Homo-oligomer: A and B are copies of this chain.
Amino acid sequence: MIIESVDVFAFALPHVRDIGDGSQDMVLVRVRAGGHTGWGECEAAPLPTLATMVAPMSHSACHGVLDSVLGHPLDDVADIARLSRRVAERGLDLLQTPHAWSGVEIALWDLLGKARSEPAWVLRGAAANNARRPYASQLFGDDPQTTLERARGVAAAGFRAAKFGWGPYGRGSVAEDAEQVAAAREGLGPQIDLLVDAGTVWDDDVDAAAARLPALERAGVVWLEEPFVGGAVWAYAALARRSNRVRLAGGEGAHNAHVARQLIDHGGLGFVQIDTGRIGGIGAASQVAGYASSRGVTFVNHTFTSHLALAASLVPYADHPAGLLCEFPVSASPLAEGVTRTPLTLDREGMLRLPDGPGLGLDLDLDAVRPYLQEVEIVVNGQCLYRTPELAQ
């Protein structure tokens, strides 16, 4: 097959709020080749991502993404890996490249799977599609009472693990943060795993993070996620040395496998969290999954948007041991929830597996998200480089 077209679509809610909810807008990529269509999602700011797709060449290491992809062959997984290397090399100096490429790469897996009638995890060479234990991923409430109610809701819904993050956490006092964590634990009861996400709030301030550890230990928190920005590997390492039972989790911002490897090698992580929609797709995420295993660090997906993104994010560790955690967005926007006609569902034990359909195994509901489609036009010197294409399968 030859990659005939790559079309990119931006979506957004009518009113995007200034909160830590990454499901308020969305970038979808549609690839066509050999009579088949694949879909992928970028976890990325839409407008800069569109511009990165169509950017005019600046020099040999600074090409737009589509320029490196269109017209190339797509017959097996090695072709996807080859294109990933090509895009990385020709996009070296265009920082946004991995965020944009991720959606294309995922769409290539979906397309190739459909052409072969095989699920993406089989294409990837995974020997098994093991069950994951989904944790409900939610924002802290503005006050402990709201957090308590959200935690009760999660417990009532049958989840066996839950994560609370962002919102006020880390922005007030140590005591206020402790109350939030205690409220989450109270709402969940003693049996449900509790995870806490600080959303990089302490930047690289190790003492500020360490001050929260006693409350986290008391609540039996499994991991503290992103106390620091992802690049502050030394700060992760320093905090890991000061923690008893609470493990550190991080890596969602990793935009290539090398960045994730730094955190694994030098950051003292217990869990490395990878977003396939940012790191360069399923191939790059799978590299990290393999490396993490070899170093005794547990791989976990990062997903806060749609079930299309969720499915792509589970492929890289489909064959890791059964029962490992996975992130499962439970309060995503109508946009992110609407895009899949056949969302991933939990089995009666509350566990999650990838579907067995070809590619990512999902049907998209384009009519459901059409109201959110953004009409974008980018013109340079009178030439239209991008105009929102027709939204269709």
Contacts and interface: CB of A to CB of B under 8 A. Distances in A.
Contact of A258 (B45, B96, B199, B204): B204
A77 interface: no
Nearest to A254: B231
Interface string A167-204: 00000000000000000000000000000000110011
Interface stretch (A118-126, A214-222, A370-378): A370-378
A390 B112 CA distance: 48
A59 B22 contact: yes
A389 to B, nearest CB: 15
Contacts of A99: 95
A60 interface: yes
Nearest to A100: B48
Contacts of A24: 58-59
A19 interface: yes
A201 B266 CA distance: 25
A349 interface: no
Interface stretch (A240-248, A360-368, A380-388): A380-388
Contacts of A378: 47, 51, 376-379
B22 A62 contact: yes
B380 A47 contact: yes
A231 B258 contact: yes
Contact of A51 (B50, B256, B381): B50
A43 to B, nearest CB: 8
Q: Can you tell how many copies of this chain the complex includes? A: 2
A204 B278 CA distance: 21
A265 B378 CA distance: 42
A57 interface: yes
Interface string A15-29: 011111110110000
Given A51-B48, A51-B50, A18 B95 contact: no
Contact of A58 (B45, B231, B376, B385): B45
Contacts of A36: none
B379 A96 contact: no
Interface of A: 12, 16-22, 24-25, 43-48, 50-52, 54-62, 64, 85, 88-89, 92-96, 98-99, 166, 199-200, 203-204, 229, 231-234, 253, 255-256, 258-259, 261-262, 265-266, 278, 374-382, 385
A231 to B, nearest CB: 3
Given A16-B58, A44-B93, A46-B55, 10 more contacts: A19-B59, A22-B58, A22-B59, A44-B95, A61-B199, A95-B96, A262-B262, A374-B380, A376-B378, A376-B379
B256 A231 contact: yes
A200 B93 CA distance: 11
B60 A93 contact: no
Contacts of A21: 59
A17 B61 CA distance: 11
Nearest to A375: B381
B253 A45 contact: no
A16 B64 CA distance: 13
B98 A95 contact: yes
A67 to B, nearest CB: 10
